Structure 1
Amino acid sequence: MTTTTRDALRERLDKATADLDPPFAIVDLAAFDANARALTRRAAGKPLRVASKSVRSRALLERALATPGWQGVMSYTLAEAIWLVRSGMTHDALVAYPTADRAALRELATDPGLAASVTLMVDGPEQLDLVDAVAAPGHRAELRVCLDIDGSWRPLGLHIGVRRSPLHTAAAVGKVAREIATRRGFRLVGLMAYDAQIAGLGDAPPRETLRGLAIRLMQHRSYRDLLHRRRAALAAAREHADVEFFNSGGTGSVAATAADPAVTEVTAGSGLYGPALFDAYRAWRPEPAAFFALAVVRRPANDYVTVSGGGWIASGQTHASRQPLPWLPAGLRLLGPEGAGEVQTPLRGPAAGELRVGDRVWFRHAKAGELCEHVNELHLVDGAEVVETVPTYRGEGRAFL
């Protein structure tokens, strides 16, 4: 985005929100919708499942699902999945991670309609045992389960990727699939293999050319490994179950993942908001759609300003890349010794000279849905006007993690 484009965006957002007092967050609907359509094009006909943790607002989840090519939700907790289904927002919720929430499991197991709409994630018999301890088979609804397959790359004994599922080989997948087939009260309906080292890792880190080359080489070889292992895992699971879907990928790997014949659906969510971490991707960079505004409250020197609040740090590895990015006006940066503070954040740069107390600075969060944990509502901007204000999960009193 050029400086001229950013100046125009700042003028438009300032005009749309002139009556609002920071801190607040907005979503630019034109950019959100453009990102939703671009992701469907990248999926090349395969359905996209929206990752709710990257959105965390029911109104915007519904907006994404209203876009052709999007269907179903990947929730991040079972309690959230139950809430989304009971609210009528979806009848197809895949829980992305294993759960130990006994109250939610009990609610799921005692409601056949709910059980038909929610798919649990497992990667071994221990999770099945926990379910049986909460609600004995024969006295509950049949529960849909999906096997989480390790998507990491392991060349020469190394482990490149995240440490999640222990199911790395087709043999391991087949063993657990066979056990599920023999257990009352469970039905294996899906597989998932998240390629974090591809989907979740930018291949063009700023000012790190050699590292970017190394990342791209790693991702190319890891992708070839995944093509083989996903196909083999699917074959192993099909010996014991009628698999309905194979989910994989994320915003950073939609096109590549959709090209795998074994994969039937791709997950995406962060790309709808276009957070700052995706500025480090080559293949596709979403349009920035979600922003938060903070007010200037001090001017320590001519090329410094201080804004109120700002310490909205993203999860993951502790690193400067997890800090929010000052975006508008262009030409501001965080201070290394201080960073983004809990109650105030100093900024420095050429743009500071034009800012006065009471002016606002627009930030982009490093990640997507975590922005919504800091605000009760999102103001939806169309052009230079706020057309609607919708609650976040937090605004509806829902804190799932």
Structure 2
Amino acid sequence: MATERDTLRRRLDRATAHLEPPIAVVDLDAFDANAGALITQAAGKPVRIASKSLRCRALLGRALAEPGWRGVMTYTLAEAIWLVRTGVTDDALVGYPTAERHALAELAADAGLAAAICLMVDSTAQLDLIDTVAAAGRRAEIRTCLDLDASWRPMAGAFGGRLHVGTRRSPVHSAGAAGALAAAIGQRPGFRLVGLMSYEAQIAGLGDAPPRQAVRGATIRLLQRHSYRELVHRRAAAVAAVREHADLEFVNGGGTGSVALTAADPAVTEITAGSGLYGPALFDAYRTWRPRPAAFFALPVVRRPTARMATLLGGGWVASGPADPARLPTPWLPSGLRLTGTEGAGEVQTPVTGVAAESLRVGDRVWFRHAKAGELAEHVGELHLVGADRVEGTVPTYRGEGRAFL
């Protein structure tokens, strides 16, 4: 009996038979289903799409056209300006502080852009930089969002603040520090504080059910429960402290891995998500919700070094983050393939082994899932959009449009 993955393989092979690999595709049925599932989890709160997870204007537009999706979180200011100028959005939140002087000058000189784009800040030094590019009084007012560090620091007092669970982001961790920075922004001419963001990476970006690691999974879940409880109280206090100095338009939080949990926090008014639309392999390690795999890339079999191994052309599309096997792409179709421990995924060749490798012939295709989401788009100039068993359209990635922001 054919499995679901066997059916998917035949469908992708039929749809793309006229195309030469390496190619990347997005299964529109899975993409749309994931978009709807994320909105359901958000429980009535709007979802802001993380552009770095898609890196394709057409698919950003497809998600934003669905009810419940609103606004874009970009990863650079230059990207935000491009998305606004090309009509993708009129509500762009830059997810990280910027030192892009040329982009800042462009923003400061255009009141329309300044009204559509909000910059992330966690220090008055970032305000100083903006003022050196364009002084207050001779530029448009700059909208800002305060980045509250969402990491968990248990027993920080006893250990001098050295125990840190989460990513190293903003230096603003306490409600008092958030209020102090909000007050400083409020006193600076040419700036307006309109938002607060806190990304709980240790919850949203860390799978709580890593395969074959039961003890580690239980430890992660315990840490996440304690971290969430602490953050709910601290975020509420920070929002209250900031509101003493600014009229906040939004409080942003979360990511694909914590949409439902973050939406349950009363202080949060909007959620960010993006990776769940593509359903990359890292999200197979989550218990609460696993998106349907929607983004794939295919490589051709070019030789058979042994009867139980096939070698593919290319494949070294490794995800960012800590250097471990989880960042390697996953051979997905046909099922029953695995990378070798000695070569992994290589720049010009990738050997695969396993039961399914015995039946592969030169010229056959192997379909992979990237470990992360939007980084796939950095390796291809276009994405083929598959509906049913045909390609319904082909759209450029950022790279395909000549854009490389990071």
How far apart, CA to CA, are the structure 2 residues paired with 1:296 and 1:21? 12
Aligned partner of 1:68 in structure 2 is 67
How does 1:56-205 map onto structure 2 within 5 Å? 56-157=55-156, 158-205=163-210
2:363 is the counterpart of 1:364: no
Q: Which amino acid aligns with 2:9?
A: R
Aligned partner of 2:320 in structure 1 is 315
- Number of aligned residues: 400
How far apart, CA to CA, are the structure 2 residues paired with 1:209 and 1:3? 30
Q: Which amino acid aligns with 1:30?
A: D
Aligned partner of 1:389 in structure 2 is 394
- Shift, 1:156, TM fit: 1.5
- Shift, 1:3, TM fit: 7.1
User: 1:3·1:330 contact (CA, 8 Å) conserved in 2?
Assistant: no
- Shift, 1:173, TM fit: 0.3
Aligned partner of 1:255 in structure 2 is 260
> Of 326, 332, 335, which residue of structure 1 is paired with 2:337?
332
> Of 226, 230, 233, which residue of structure 2 is paired with 1:225?
230
User: For 1:312-369, what per-residue CA distance to the aligned partner results, in whole angstroms no more than 9, with x for missing partners?
Assistant: 0000011100000000000000001110000000000000111100000000000000
Q: Which amino acid aligns with 1:175?
A: A
How far apart, CA to CA, are the structure 2 residues paired with 1:225 and 1:265? 19
2:350 is the counterpart of 1:345: yes
How far apart, CA to CA, are the structure 2 residues paired with 1:110 and 1:265? 29
How does 1:370-381 map onto structure 2 within 5 Å? 370-381=375-386
- Shift, 1:194, TM fit: 0.2
Tell me the secondary structure at the aligned position of residue 119 of structure 2. Answer: strand
How far apart, CA to CA, are the structure 1 residues paired with 2:202 and 2:87? 34
User: 1:189·1:244 contact (CA, 8 Å) conserved in 2?
Assistant: yes
Aligned partner of 1:7 in structure 2 is 6
Runs (4+) of structure 1 exceeding 6 A deviation are none
How far apart, CA to CA, are the structure 1 residues paired with 2:76 and 2:15? 35
Q: Which amino acid aligns with 1:378?
A: L
User: For 1:37-79, what per-residue CA distance to the aligned partner results, in whole angstroms no more than 9, with x for missing partners?
Assistant: 0000000000000000000000000001011100000000000
TM-score, normalized by length of structure 2? 0.98
Which structure 1 residue ranges, 5 or more long, are not aligned?
A: none
Tell me the secondary structure at the aligned position of residue 239 of structure 2. Answer: helix
How does 1:235-246 map onto structure 2 within 5 Å? 235-246=240-251
Tell me the secondary structure at the aligned position of residue 116 of structure 1. Answer: helix
How far apart, CA to CA, are the structure 1 residues paired with 2:65 and 2:278? 16
How far apart, CA to CA, are the structure 2 residues paired with 1:76 and 1:67? 22
Tell me the secondary structure at the aligned position of residue 155 of structure 1. Answer: coil
Tell me the secondary structure at the aligned position of residue 203 of structure 1. Answer: coil
Tell me the secondary structure at the aligned position of residue 296 of structure 2. Answer: strand
Tell me the secondary structure at the aligned position of residue 155 of structure 2. Answer: helix
What percent identity do the matched residue pairs reach? 71
How far apart, CA to CA, are the structure 2 residues paired with 1:356 and 1:337? 22
How far apart, CA to CA, are the structure 2 residues paired with 1:350 and 1:56? 35
Q: Which amino acid aligns with 2:300?
A: A
